[in-house]
Amino acid sequence: MGEFVRIEKDGAVATIRLDRPKMNAISSALHRELAECAREVDRDPEVGAVVLYGGERVFAAGADIKEMAGMSYGDMSAYCAALQGSFDVVAAVGKPVVAAITGYALGGGCELALCADFRVAGESAKLGQPEIQLGIIPGAGGTQRLPRLIGPARAKDLIFSGRHVDAGEALAIGLVDKVVPDAEVHAAAVALAATYAGGPALALRAAKQAVDRGLEVDLATGLEIERLHFSGMFATEDAGIGMRAFIDKTKPEFTGR
């Protein structure tokens, strides 16, 4: 769709492809295009699941430091708000999203991967939040999404040290969900996304929203969010299809309505 980000479709799975050589540095232009692509796949009824991919060589090696280096406090405050806003659009896609991680996913690249529901990494992938080594901290969700995923102590270790973790350690601490040979990363991510792509679209969206919003509130409020989403499913056509198929012992064919 843009100069640095495009959408590629394979059946019901759409890949949002970053393409800013050499390292997919996340510039203002790139994250704006990323957000627009995320909005596009979210509203496309033919898309059932999404893959985030940076190509065979690298996922994204971080923010565009050259773009950031000369910014003042005021400049950076506005820049960071825009960057977080773009990543929030990705995180809010109401469909299953899989990050396909090759090479480096560092800084903003790691933070982008954290916006996905699942992460598939190549065997030689490196992930991390190295901002501390520049005298700054993560600013696109690393201090918030990372501890929610792997726990505060492990997140603080990565953030305080700025060290890179390899694919094996990332799998062990829950930062990624699957490790495959480098050449198979995109195919494995598409295959994983495809397992969800044929599901009931409204129920998948509701489930994702219930989990994500529930993590932000206390248990009682989370249960109320769940109750409202659960009850709402009974106004959908897919709920009737699914229950009739269960009773009839047939495979449901969901309509997304």
CA 215-238-202 angle, to 5 degrees, is: 35
Last residue of one domain, picked from the residues 158, 176, 197: 197
Same domain for 109 and 229? Answer: no
User: Mean pLDDT across the stretch 195-206?
Assistant: 95
Over 80: is that where the pLDDT of 225 sits?
yes
Same domain for 180 and 208? Answer: no
How far is it, in rounded angstroms, from Cα 79 to Cα 102? Answer: 27
Asked whether residue 256 is assigned to any structural domain, the reply reads no
Q: Tens digit of pLDDT for each residue in 45-61?
A: 999 999 999 999 999 99
Q: Tens digit of pLDDT for each residue in 25-34?
A: 999 999 999 9
The whole-angstrom distance between residue 149's C-alpha and the CA centroid of its chain comes to 12
Same domain for 221 and 151? Answer: no
Over 70: is that where the pLDDT of 159 sits?
yes
User: Mean pLDDT across the stretch 62-74?
Assistant: 87
Same domain for 44 and 137? Answer: yes
Asked whether residue 43 is assigned to any structural domain, the reply reads yes
CATH number at residue 54: 3.90.226.10
Same domain for 207 and 117? Answer: no
Check: CB of residue 123 under 8 Å from CB of residue 110. no
Does residue 194 sit in helix, strand or coil? Answer: helix
Same domain for 30 and 146? Answer: yes
Asked whether residue 254 is assigned to any structural domain, the reply reads no
Same domain for 104 and 210? Answer: no
Range of the domain at 48: 5-197
Scanning the structure block, which residue is given the tokens 């704006």? 32
Q: Is 69 left (phi over 0), alpha (psi -120 to 50) or beta?
A: alpha
Same domain for 139 and 52? Answer: yes
Asked whether residue 127 is assigned to any structural domain, the reply reads yes
Domain count within the chain: 2
Confidence of residue 68 (pLDDT cuts 50, 70, 90): confident
Active site (catalytic) residues:
63, 108, 111, 131
Same domain for 171 and 213? Answer: no
Residue 190's Cβ-count burial label (10 Å; 0-12, 13-18, 19+) is buried
Q: Tens digit of pLDDT for each residue in 118-133?
A: 999 999 999 999 999 9
Closest CA to 86 of 36, 139, 136, 52: 36
CATH number at residue 235: 1.10.12.10
Asked whether residue 190 is assigned to any structural domain, the reply reads yes
Asked whether residue 257 is assigned to any structural domain, the reply reads no
Same domain for 149 and 216? Answer: no
Asked whether residue 187 is assigned to any structural domain, the reply reads yes
Average pLDDT over the chain, rounded to an integer: 95
Same domain for 142 and 233? Answer: no
Asked whether residue 253 is assigned to any structural domain, the reply reads no
Confidence of residue 43 (pLDDT cuts 50, 70, 90): very high
Same domain for 151 and 241? Answer: no
User: Mean pLDDT across the stretch 71-77?
Assistant: 91
